């Protein structure tokens, strides 16, 4: 018995050895007319000379069948006298497409439908490919509102090719004929319909267009409204049917379920502070309140933010609902697992190919071994967004093997271009028509010849020509001199402004330097300029006759700024306050001596979708040294954008004693209150405003304040960094000779 078993094992081993030794001698093809032998063999893994493996060969047959080239694929094997395997493939090809025709299509040209079909004359016919193409055409029709479209294909086969005919039944453009709602008790039918963007047709005033994706969003919005009102188990079933040509009947069957209310609220787990303190910070905490899903989410968000601000980056908040003593009351327990406090390890930067690492790293507000908080990541993200160098920014912590240490990962996707060559035009209520040419690189690098990009410096050359103004300017700024939070820069400029009463020309150079801290900066600007006042119309302003001619003005301006804005480009919260003092003449010599303090403050506060903005501007100018009267071009003017809208530009303040025309004042106060509403992202905003202010020779007449109200729009063009403003202001304190209101247009180009 033992000998027999050994013999059988030897025979089995020998058989396996023999089989495993069979080699593929050749692969022969038959039946292929249009698909080349090279194409077929390139798809197959089995090759002459390989060890024969039926499993691999069967997989090759599957791959050939899935190409769509063949109706059928089969093979036979033959063992040669040498013990090798000859493989024979028998192929039946799909026919070629001789032609494709469409009938009944009106919304799209046949050429467009052929493009969507992704099959054309001369291609190998493939039934699956044809079905996919028809589905793509139907989807395109639905995107255009033809939801009742139906396509049917007929395939006429000949000996070697096929002709495809596609009948299109467009069914008319879909519109909403009727919306019916069943089972709604908490919300009225009127309120439900009003909340929906899908509307019934009311010809000719409302088209009632039907789009499935819009209806889906409407239903999702309605479900959320119910859940925010305590109906946790809400269910909505939709039924869509057709009525006539293109008419759609929409039925919503609502199962409201029971309305739930909040019972007891508890916090459990490893608490880092008292339970009462945690509960007090939650928006939903009062017993008996409607159990709103949105407020429950905000509860979790508040708890998470509180812990993340303490450095607990991996905090886990679990919401546990429990039935209370009443059927419609639910107790909520938040189980809090704070984890450990994390400190900053490395800052790893990825994705940047042009911008230097140091330019990104200096905007990340995380220091080594500093506690990582949510505000660190938020501030870092906003800083990088404000640079306007990147399309996408992703900042997140990466846990390390070291306990309590997390690396900060900064992954960016750079904009294709940060340099701009712009040619454009605009209009403002002060400067009239303006043409503009500018070359600007906001990510300039003077140390990288030829590319000159990636260093975070700012270089701008601009030319503005208008009906009443001409400006040239070359500016350069290094925001981090010697890699410190110190900026240096220079401006070389020439300006000409033709006012109705006189012409003013300035040519000069400014040297700038300053230092930044977390929220505070101190800057200095040393300026020298030649100012020429000419073409004075003495019939309008005889009082400034003695100011005609050229003077040299040398001055230094010191500015202290405190900034807590959440974003420099699109702020919604925080404050920006600056106090500057310009001193001209004195030890700097020149032909004019004065001091000019200015205070500016911008305050932003979010009110749900609205943003409240308060802008305050106040200042005065006073003669010093040998100067007896401040030149008109250094004085303050008011009226219009920047002071009080609703009044003519430069109409406020002291007047010429002979003609009564404005000559500017030496004291300024303006207060603007605005409510901003986003109409389109952060680009287009609606504005309503109330302005108050005036211009005086001194602040003794401060009670004489003029007021205006109105509305308008503000467009911020991202790549121009240029706000375009259009307002209509109504004057509340207009004089008999003044209009009761006026339009204001403003456009400025930021460098």
Look at residue 161 in the predicted model and tell me its pLDDT.
85
Q: Is the pLDDT of residue 627 over 70?
A: yes
Phi-psi region of 618 (alpha: psi -120 to 50; beta: other; left: phi over 0): beta
Choice between 433 and 332, residue whose per-residue pLDDT is larger:
332
pTM over 0.75: no
For residue 482, the tally of other CB atoms under 10 A from its CB is: 7
Q: Can you identify the CATH homologous superfamily of domain 261-337?
A: membrane protein fhac (3.10.20.310)
Q: Which of 503, 505, 525, 529 is nearest to 514 (CA)?
A: 525
Q: Which of 299, 311, 303 is nearest to 369 (CA)?
A: 311
- Which CATH code, of 1.20.1250.20, 3.10.20.310, 3.40.1520.20, 3.40.50.2300, is assigned to 175-255? 3.10.20.310
d(CA 129, CA 155): 13
Q: What are phi and psi of 275, to 5 degrees?
A: -60, -40
- Average confidence (pLDDT) over 440-446: 89
Look at residue 719 in the predicted model and tell me its pLDDT.
57
Domain 419-747 has CATH 2.40.160.50: yes
DSSP state of 61: H
Look at residue 526 in the predicted model and tell me its pLDDT.
97
* In contact, 665 and 630? CB cutoff 8 Å: no
The DSSP bridge partners found for residue 408 are: 347, 397
- Average confidence (pLDDT) over 707-730: 83
d(CA 432, CA 345): 55
Choice between 196 and 466, residue whose per-residue pLDDT is larger:
196
Look at residue 615 in the predicted model and tell me its pLDDT.
97
Choice between 437 and 201, residue whose per-residue pLDDT is larger:
201
- Judged on CB neighbours under 10 Å (0-12, 13-18, 19+), 531 is buried
- 175-255 and 419-747, same CATH topology: no
Q: How far is CA 628 from CA 98, 191, 546, 591, 631, in A?
A: 95, 70, 12, 11, 9
Q: Sorting pLDDT into bands at 50, 70 and 90, what band is 13?
A: very low
For the 343-414 domain, the top CATH level (class) is alpha beta
Structural domain boundaries of the chain? Answer: 19-93, 96-169, 175-255, 261-337, 343-414, 419-747
d(CA 300, CA 343): 23
The DSSP bridge partners found for residue 614 are: 603, 673
Token pair listed for 284: 């939903």
The residue whose two tokens read 């269910």 is 235
Q: Which of 194-203, 465-474, 475-484 has the highest mean pLDDT?
A: 475-484
d(CA 620, CA 597): 6
* In contact, 351 and 320? CB cutoff 8 Å: no
The DSSP bridge partners found for residue 253 are: 182, 237
Q: What is the rounded average pLDDT for all residues in the chain?
A: 88
Region of poorest pLDDT, from 32-46, 76-90, 694-708, 714-728: 714-728
Look at residue 14 in the predicted model and tell me its pLDDT.
41
DSSP codes of every residue in 437-466:
EEEEEEEE-TTSTTT-BSS-EEEEEEEEEE
d(CA 29, CA 31): 7
Q: Can you identify the CATH homologous superfamily of domain 19-93?
A: membrane protein fhac (3.10.20.310)
Cis peptide before 531 (omega within 30 of 0): no
Q: Which of 3-12, 127-136, 669-678 has the highest mean pLDDT?
A: 669-678
For residue 158, the tally of other CB atoms under 10 A from its CB is: 10
d(CA 76, CA 73): 11
Look at residue 7 in the predicted model and tell me its pLDDT.
42
d(CA 561, CA 574): 13
Q: Is the pLDDT of residue 194 over 50?
A: yes
- Average confidence (pLDDT) over 695-705: 85
Provide the pairing of β-strand 594-607 with 622-623.
Answer: antiparallel
d(CA 65, CA 59): 10
For residue 607, the tally of other CB atoms under 10 A from its CB is: 11
Mapped onto helix, strand or coil, the DSSP state of residue 207 is coil
The residue whose two tokens read 């749900």 is 608
d(CA 176, CA 331): 43
DSSP codes of every residue in 92-120:
EEPPEEEEEEEES--SS-HHHHHHHHT--
DSSP state of 401: S
Q: Is the pLDDT of residue 21 over 60?
A: no
d(CA 89, CA 87): 7
d(CA 648, CA 638): 9
Look at residue 1 in the predicted model and tell me its pLDDT.
47
The DSSP bridge partners found for residue 745 are: 726
- Average confidence (pLDDT) over 88-92: 86
**Radius of gyration, alpha carbons of the chain:** 38
Q: Which of 618, 624, 588 is nearest to 601 (CA)?
A: 618
Q: Is the pLDDT of residue 40 over 50?
A: yes
Q: Which of 238-242, 540-544, 621-625, 670-674 has the highest mean pLDDT?
A: 670-674
- Average confidence (pLDDT) over 565-575: 89
* In contact, 729 and 646? CB cutoff 8 Å: yes
Mapped onto helix, strand or coil, the DSSP state of residue 397 is strand
Provide the pairing of β-strand 175-182 with 247-255.
Answer: parallel
The DSSP bridge partners found for residue 176 are: 248
- Judged on CB neighbours under 10 Å (0-12, 13-18, 19+), 513 is middle
Q: Which of 278, 233, 280, 284 is nearest to 263 (CA)?
A: 284
Look at residue 246 in the predicted model and tell me its pLDDT.
65
Region of poorest pLDDT, from 12-21, 61-70, 338-347, 696-705: 12-21
What angle, 0 to 180 degrees and rounded to 10, lies between the N-to-C axes of helices 212-227 and 293-308? Answer: 80
The predicted-structure confidence for 636-688, as pLDDT tens digits, reads as follows: 999 999 899 999 988 998 988 888 888 999 999 999 999 999 998 888 899 99
Token pair listed for 205: 């005033």
* In contact, 456 and 446? CB cutoff 8 Å: no
Q: Is the pLDDT of residue 290 over 90?
A: yes
DSSP codes of every residue in 27-46:
EEEES-SSS-HHHHHHH-S-
| Percent with pLDDT over 70 in the chain | 93
Q: Sorting pLDDT into bands at 50, 70 and 90, what band is 724?
A: confident
Q: Which of 306, 263, 258 is nearest to 284 (CA)?
A: 263
The predicted-structure confidence for 168-191, as pLDDT tens digits, reads as follows: 988 878 888 889 999 999 999 999
Q: Which of 100, 106, 91, 113 is nearest to 44 (CA)?
A: 91
- Average confidence (pLDDT) over 287-310: 95
The predicted-structure confidence for 196-249, as pLDDT tens digits, reads as follows: 999 988 877 888 888 888 999 999 999 999 999 999 999 999 998 877 666 889
d(CA 242, CA 100): 31
Give 291's contacts (C-beta < 8 A, 6+ positions apart): 230, 232, 260, 261, 262, 284, 330
Q: Can you identify the CATH homologous superfamily of domain 96-169?
A: membrane protein fhac (3.10.20.310)
Q: Sorting pLDDT into bands at 50, 70 and 90, what band is 146?
A: confident
CA angle 364, 365, 366 (to 5 degrees): 95
* In contact, 71 and 92? CB cutoff 8 Å: yes
Provide the pairing of β-strand 343-350 with 316-323.
Answer: unpaired
Q: Is the pLDDT of residue 432 over 70?
A: no
DSSP codes of every residue in 668-719:
EEEEEEEEEEEEETTTEEEEEEEEEEEEESSGGGTT--EEEEEEEEEEEETT
């Amino acid at each position: 018995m033992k000998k027999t078993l050994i013999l059988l094992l030897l025979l089995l081993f020998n058989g396996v050895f023999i089989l495993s030794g069979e080699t593929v001698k050749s692969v022969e093809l038959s039946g292929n007319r249009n698909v080349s032998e090279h194409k077929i063999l390139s798809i197959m893994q089995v090759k002459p000379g390989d060890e024969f493996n039926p499993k691999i060969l069967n997989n090759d047959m599957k791959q050939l069948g899935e190409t769509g080239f063949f109706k059928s694929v089969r093979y036979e094997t033959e063992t040669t006298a040498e013990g090798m395997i000859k493989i024979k493939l028998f192929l039946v090809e799909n026919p070629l497409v001789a032609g494709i025709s469409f009938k009944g299509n009106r919304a799209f040209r046949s050429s467009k439908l052929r493009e969507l079909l992704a099959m054309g004359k001369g291609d190998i016919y493939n039934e699956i490919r044809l079905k996919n193409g028809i589905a793509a055409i139907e989807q395109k029709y639905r995107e255009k509102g033809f939801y009742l479209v139906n396509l049917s294909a007929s395939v006429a086969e000949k000996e070697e090719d096929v002709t495809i005919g596609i009948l299109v039944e467009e069914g008319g453009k879909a519109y909403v004929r009727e919306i019916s709602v069943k089972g709604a008790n908490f919300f009225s039918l009127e309120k439900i319909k009003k909340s929906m963007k899908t509307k019934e047709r009311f010809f000719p005033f409302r088209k009632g267009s039907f789009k499935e994706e819009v209806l889906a969003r409407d239903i999702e919005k309605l479900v959320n409204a119910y859940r925010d009102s305590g109906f946790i188990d809400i269910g909505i079933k939709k039924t869509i049917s057709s009525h006539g040509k293109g008419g759609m009947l929409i039925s919503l069957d609502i199962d409201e379920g029971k309305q739930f209310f909040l019972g007891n609220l508890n916090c459990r787990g490893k608490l880092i502070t008292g339970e009462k303190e945690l509960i007090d910070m939650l928006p939903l905490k009062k017993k008996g309140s409607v159990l709103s899903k949105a407020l429950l989410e905000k509860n979790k968000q508040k708890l998470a933010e509180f812990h993340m601000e303490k450095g607990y980056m991996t905090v886990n908040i679990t919401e546990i609902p429990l039935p209370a003593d009443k059927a419609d009351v639910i107790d909520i327990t938040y189980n809090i697992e704070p984890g450990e406090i994390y400190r900053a390890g490395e800052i790893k930067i990825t994705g940047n190919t042009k911008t230097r690492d140091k330019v990104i790293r200096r905007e990340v507000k995380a220091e080594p071994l500093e506690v990582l908080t949510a505000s660190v990541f938020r501030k870092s993200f906003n800083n990088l967004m404000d640079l306007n160098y990147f399309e996408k920014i992703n900042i997140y912590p990466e846990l390390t093997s070291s306990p309590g240490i997390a690396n900060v990962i900064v992954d960016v996707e750079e904009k294709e271009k940060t340099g701009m060559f712009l040619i454009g035009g605009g209009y403002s209520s002060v400067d009239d028509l303006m043409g503009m040419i500018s070359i600007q690189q906001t990510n300039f690098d003077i140390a990288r010849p030829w590319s000159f990009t990636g260093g975070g410096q700012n270089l701008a050359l601009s030319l503005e020509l208008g009906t009443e103004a001409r400006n040239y300017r070359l500016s350069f700024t290094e925001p981090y001199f010697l890699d410190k939070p110190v900026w240096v820069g220079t401006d070389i400029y020439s300006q000409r402004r033709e006012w109705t009463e006189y012409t003013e020309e300035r040519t000069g150079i400014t040297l700038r330097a300053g230092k930044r801290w977390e929220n505070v900066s101190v800057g200095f600007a040393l300026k020298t300029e030649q100012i020429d006042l000419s073409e004075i119309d003495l019939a309008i302003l005889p009082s400034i006759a003695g100011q005609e001619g050229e003077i040299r003005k040398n001055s230094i301006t010191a500015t202290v700024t405190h900034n807590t804005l959440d974003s420099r480009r699109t702020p919604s919260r925080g404050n920006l306050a600056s106090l500057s003092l310009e001193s001209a003449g004195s030890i700097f010599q020149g032909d004019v001596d004065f001091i000019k303090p200015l205070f500016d403050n911008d305050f932003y506060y979010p009110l749900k979708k609205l943003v409240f903005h308060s802008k305050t501007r106040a200042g005065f100018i006073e003669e010093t040294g040998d100067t007896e009267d401040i030149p008109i071009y250094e004085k303050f003017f008011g009226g219009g954008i920047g002071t009080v809208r609703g009044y003519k530009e430069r109409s406020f303040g002291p007047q010429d004693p002979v003609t009564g025309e404005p000559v500017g004042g030496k004291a300024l106060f303006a207060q603007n209150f605005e409510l901003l509403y986003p109409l389109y992202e952060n680009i287009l905003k609606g504005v309503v405003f109330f302005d108050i202010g005036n211009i005086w020779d001194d602040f003794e007449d401060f009670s004489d304040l003029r007021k205006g109200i109105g509305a308008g729009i503000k467009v911020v063009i991202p790549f121009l960094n240029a706000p375009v403003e259009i307002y209509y202001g109504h004057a509340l304190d207009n004089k008999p000779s003044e209009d009761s209101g006026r339009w204001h247009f403003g456009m400025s180009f930021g460098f």
